[in-house]
Structures are given as structure tokens and as C-alpha cells.
């Protein structure tokens, strides 16, 4: 998908610059973009290393598991047909809490494991089960509590209060998640679209 989007952006831009007479600006942008990209990567490198390091401590010390335990009651409501002591339910809780802590790299393996478990329960069907839909939808709504990368990028580009947006991010995330779950669970309940 990105192959087409990227090519389209490059070609459309070059045609557009000729039509609009911005060829000079475009040439400058080509030269500057390499330096701009490296600058962005250097900014991201610092945050990424620092927080990956801190979060490794959270993982190894069992902090993540404690967070996971806090979410068990809520997840029981969303996955009423799963055994709360089973491995699949465990993978789901770990995935959700890792996402919440901003541990994208930890969340993904747990998520893939959860999907495999759900697939087994679903009898290896080609059609998504109710649980799969709820789980994937939870992963497509961003749940991160502390958007560290976002804050750092804001600060790098001169924000006076890089974290002032946090309450807005939480409200917006919560609303997005609520909308997604309402549709997922609502349609699951009506049994529409099931084979």
C-alpha cells in the first residue's frame, strides 16, 4: 500500500511543482530533506532509547503484570466467553497493558499470540470471531497513557508546554475506543454479518 502512496506523492509533487512554477523550491526541498530526516531520527533516537530502557525495567520488575491485573475485570466484560485463567486471555491482558504503557514492541508479540489462541478457539475459520473483532479494534484505537515521543517532538519544535495536550489525547482516545467498541460489540450482539 505504501508503495503506491509514496510513488503517487513523489510523482504528483513533481508534476505539481512544474504546473505551479515551484521548481526552485522543490529542488531545495530535495537537498534539504535528507538533513531534515536525519534531524528527526536523531530526536527520535534519544527518546526511543531512553523510554525503551525505562520500560524494560517496568517489564522485568513485573510492573507491567500489575497493570495487566488491574485490567482483568474490564477485559472479562469484553471477552465473556474466554477463560480468564487461560493463556489467550493472558496474552490479551498483556497486549493491552503494554500498549497502554507505550510498549509497542512488547505489545505486538503478545497480540500475535492472542490472535493465534483466538484462531484455535474459532476452529481455524477464515471468518473473524466476535472476540477477534473486539481485540483487533482495541489495538486500532491508541491507548497510550504517556505519549513520550509526541511530547518530545513538540518540545523539539519549540512548544512552550509540550504536554498540555495530554488531557485532550486521553479524552480523544477514550471516545475513539468507546465508538469502536460500541460498534464491534453492538454488531456482535445482533449477530449480523455472521455466517
Partner 1 sequence: MEFAMPLFAAVIVAFGLIKRVPVFDCFAKGAREGLGVLYKIAPTIIGLVFAVNLLRSSGAVDVICGFVQPAADFIGFPKEVVPMAMLRPVSGSGSSALLIGVFEQCGPDSFAGRVASVIAGSSETTFYAIAMYYGSIGVKNLRHTLAAAIAADLTAFAVSVITVNAFL
Task: Please give the DSSP secondary-structure letter assigned to residue 129.
Answer: P
- Tell me how far apart the alpha carbons of residues 134 and 140 are, in angstroms, rounded to a whole number: 10
State which residue, 71 or 145, has the beta carbon closest to partner 1. Answer: 145
Choosing from 69, 70, 80, 172, the residue that interacts with partner 1 (CB under 8 A) is: 172
CB of 190 to partner 1, least distance (A): 10
Site string for partner 1, 122-161 (x = CB under 8 A): --xxxxx---xx-xxx-xxxx-x-xxxxxx-xx--xxxxx
Q: Are 146 and 102 spatial neighbours (Cβ–Cβ below 8 Å)?
A: yes
38 to 77: interface string for partner 1, x by CB under 8 A: x-xx--xx--xxxxxxxxxxxxxxxx--------------
Q: Residue 72 or residue 159: which is nearer to partner 1 going by CB?
A: 159
Interior angle at CA 111, CA 163 and CA 129, nearest 5: 120
| Half-sphere exposure at residue 22, Cβ-oriented, CA atoms within 13 angstroms | 12
Size of residue set near partner 1 by CB under 8 A: 106
Q: Which three cell numbers stand for residue 74?
A: 474490564
Q: How far apart, in whole angstroms, are the C-alpha atoms of residue 153 and residue 45?
A: 11
Binding segment for partner 1 among 7-15, 71-79, 82-90 (CB under 8 A)? 7-15
Q: Which of residues 70-109 bind partner 1 (CB under 8 A)?
A: 105, 108
Query: Least distance from C-beta 5 to partner 1, angstroms?
Result: 6
Out of 73, 77, 123, 168, the residue judged to bind partner 1 by CB under 8 A: 168
- For 128, other C-beta atoms within 10 Å of its C-beta total 16
**Options 71, 84, 121, 181; binder of partner 1; rule CB under 8 A:** 181
Q: What is the largest CA-CA distance in the chain?
A: 65
Amino acid at each position: 500500500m505504501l508503495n503506491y502512496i509514496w510513488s503517487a506523492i513523489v510523482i504528483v509533487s513533481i508534476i505539481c511543482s512544474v504546473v505551479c512554477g515551484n521548481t526552485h523550491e522543490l529542488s531545495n526541498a530535495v537537498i534539504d530533506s535528507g538533513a531534515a530526516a536525519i534531524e528527526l531520527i536523531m530526536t527520535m533516537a534519544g527518546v526511543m532509547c531512553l523510554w525503551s530502557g525505562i520500560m524494560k525495567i517496568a517489564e522485568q520488575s513485573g510492573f507491567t503484570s500489575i497493570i495487566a491485573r488491574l485490567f482483568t475485570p474490564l477485559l472479562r466484560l469484553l471477552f465473556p466467553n474466554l477463560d480468564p485463567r487461560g493463556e489467550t486471555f493472558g496474552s490479551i491482558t498483556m497486549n493491552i497493558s503494554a500498549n497502554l504503557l507505550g510498549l509497542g514492541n512488547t505489545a505486538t508479540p503478545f497480540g500475535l499470540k492472542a490472535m493465534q489462541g483466538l484462531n484455535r478457539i474459532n476452529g481455524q475459520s477464515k471468518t473473524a470471531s466476535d472476540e477477534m473483532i473486539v481485540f483487533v479494534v482495541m489495538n486500532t484505537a491508541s491507548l497510550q497513557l504517556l505519549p513520550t515521543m509526541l511530547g518530545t517532538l513538540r518540545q523539539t519544535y519549540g512548544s512552550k508546554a509540550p504536554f498540555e495536550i495530554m488531557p485532550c489525547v486521553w479524552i480523544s482516545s477514550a471516545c475513539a475506543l468507546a465508538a469502536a467498541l460500541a460498534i464491534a460489540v453492538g454488531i456482535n450482539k445482533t449477530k449480523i454479518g455472521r455466517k
